[in-house]
Structure 1
């Protein structure tokens, strides 16, 4: 029994050693509170609890990381764009911390390779990448404090990816943009879900987008939200010249 215990113990130590070597490569510094980083990469499917019965997984760290990203990005934009009003700064921050962008950051860092889960990583949705990135940022803040967290965000997010001019032209939601334009121009709009007769393995949703009671575009995807966004993107390009003139 002692021999088997030592094998298991050594095996677990090797895994932890590899985990922290890879983590140090990503962070650029040696962590102090190792447990918080293990937590940042523990999926709820592991069903682990602490001595008080509280769940150990990355979900609460996501909350902290989201707040830290918002704070650092807001401070950067405030100083970088002195002419920007509250609405402008809010939109720009949303573009930097959009789910799509956070997912890309998480993928670039290959954070999913570090996650502990009882579910195969191939079964996760795309948002797992952004969730892990937020959890990692939250762990850095709780381990090293605001300044170190800010430095990491500048290194991984702001310096390589935040270009004010490009961000100004970036659309994060065609649906929001289209609705805003319709309301401004006093146009009626309606997203109408209709029967999808496709034979796909995954269920799909189809949407017709009507503007002033005329079908402008259609979209089809694995969720209503994605289908609406596809239809909105097609409508945006149909009305782009008019929308540019009115903006």
Structure 2
């Protein structure tokens, strides 16, 4: 294993593969001192199995390392950049950043699937577009950069492909746990849990929509529609959060402290503080 990673060029001469890897290096803005590490990070186990190659140096091992590196980088940034966030708030943001959906989206942005070596069977079944594979491969490359160049280089790689949608935009509605956020609001400021009530069902049976209301401390916070009760609850919670921070609610609950006073909401989702 050690001798394998000491070699600068590919262990087995393959000019076409080396050309592909060098192209990928340009795309990510990092040049490997040892190209074997990157080659392993971009090799799916199906390729080794199908070609009867007895080698454990494939992307699953690198992904194991990259997963921990990812968590460390994200936690360090959130801890340093958001000193006013409670542990639960930091966990919410981290959950989005390390989610399979977010990692897969970053992998798609760099066309990562085009650089992975697959067995013919996995390639035929759409392996290059599978979210799980793309997310794992993104972590694998992160682990490979950490192994080859250290923490700072791997940190630069992560921020290069994530800062725009993390710094500038919150996660989308589908990936956000509005119910969890609302529950924290209610417990902290109203000393009460939110209560969800189905108040209506609309549309034909094949296209049913549920209407849900949220109440807490004898106060209606909001309502929402959804194709399922779960979706309706999430939408109701999202609308309730807006009402919770509205002037209308504040004017009728003047004794309630609000999260906005704790600099909570504006910079909730980013690594870096935005310039005002």
Normalising by the residue count of structure 2, what TM-score does the alignment of the two structures yield?
A: 0.60
CA-to-partner distance for each residue in 1:181-216, whole Å, 9 max, x for gaps? 689325589xxxxxxx9xxxxxxxxx998989xxx7
Report the counterpart of residue 8 of structure 2 in structure 1: none
Q: Are 1:102 and 1:129, in contact at CA under 8 Å, matched by a contact in 2?
A: yes
SS at 2:155's partner residue? Answer: helix
Q: Residues 211 and 232 of structure 2 are in contact (CA less than 8 Å); yes or no, is this contact kept in structure 1?
A: no
**CA-atom RMSD in angstroms:** 3.6
Aligned residue in 1 for 2:26: 25
Cα offset for 1:172? 5.3
Runs of 4+ in 1 over 3 A off after TM superposition: 169-174, 176-183, 186-189, 207-212, 216-219, 238-247
> 1:33–1:113: structure 2 CA closer, same or farther, 3 Å change rule?
same
1:184 aligns with 2:189: no
Q: Pick from 119, 123, 140 the counterpart of residue 120 of structure 1.
A: 123
Gaps of 5+ in 2: 1-12, 184-191, 199-205, 214-224, 246-276
Identify which of 238, 241, 244 aligns with 2:239. Answer: 241
After superposition, what is the alpha-carbon deviation per residue over 1:96-153, rounded to whole angstroms, capped at 9, x for unaligned?
2221111111001111111111122652222222211111001001111112112222
Q: Do residues 161 (structure 1) and 165 (structure 2) align?
A: yes
Deviation at 1:232, TM superposition (A): 2.8
> Could you tell me how far apart the structure 2 residues matched to 1:96 and 1:79 are?
16
CA shift for structure 1 position 156: 2.3
With normalisation by structure 1, the TM-score equals: 0.66
Distance 1:218 1:137 in 2: 38
Query: Aligned to 1:147, which of 136, 140, 152?
Result: 152
State the distance in 1 between where 2:86 and 2:180 align: 22
Aligned partner of 2:16 in structure 1 is 15
Contact 2:178 2:237 in 1 (8 A): no
Candidates 119, 126, 134, aligned match of 1:129: 134
CA distance in 2, matches of 1:210, 1:42: 48
Q: Larger Cα Rg: Structure 1 or Structure 2?
A: 2
Name the CA distance, whole Å, in 1 between partners of 2:241 and 2:152.
42
Q: Is the 8 A contact 1:47 1:56 kept in 2?
A: no
How many residues are aligned here? 202
**Distance of aligned partners of 1:208 and 1:64 in 2 relative to their CA distance in 1, 3 Å threshold:** farther
How far has the Cα of 1:39 moved from its partner? 1.0
| Alpha-carbon distance between aligned partners in 2 of 1:236 and 1:27, rounded to the nearest angstrom | 37
Quick one: distance in 1 between partners of 2:137 and 2:147?
A: 15
For the residues of structure 2 that align with 1:21 and 1:83, how far apart are their CA atoms?
43
The match for 1:56 is: 57
Matched-pair contact (CA < 8 Å) for 2:179–2:237? no
**Offset of 1:91 from its aligned partner?**
1.0
**For 2:91 and 2:180, how far apart are their aligned partners in 1?**
18
Deviation, structure 1 residue 14: 2.8
Shift, 1:76, TM fit: 1.4
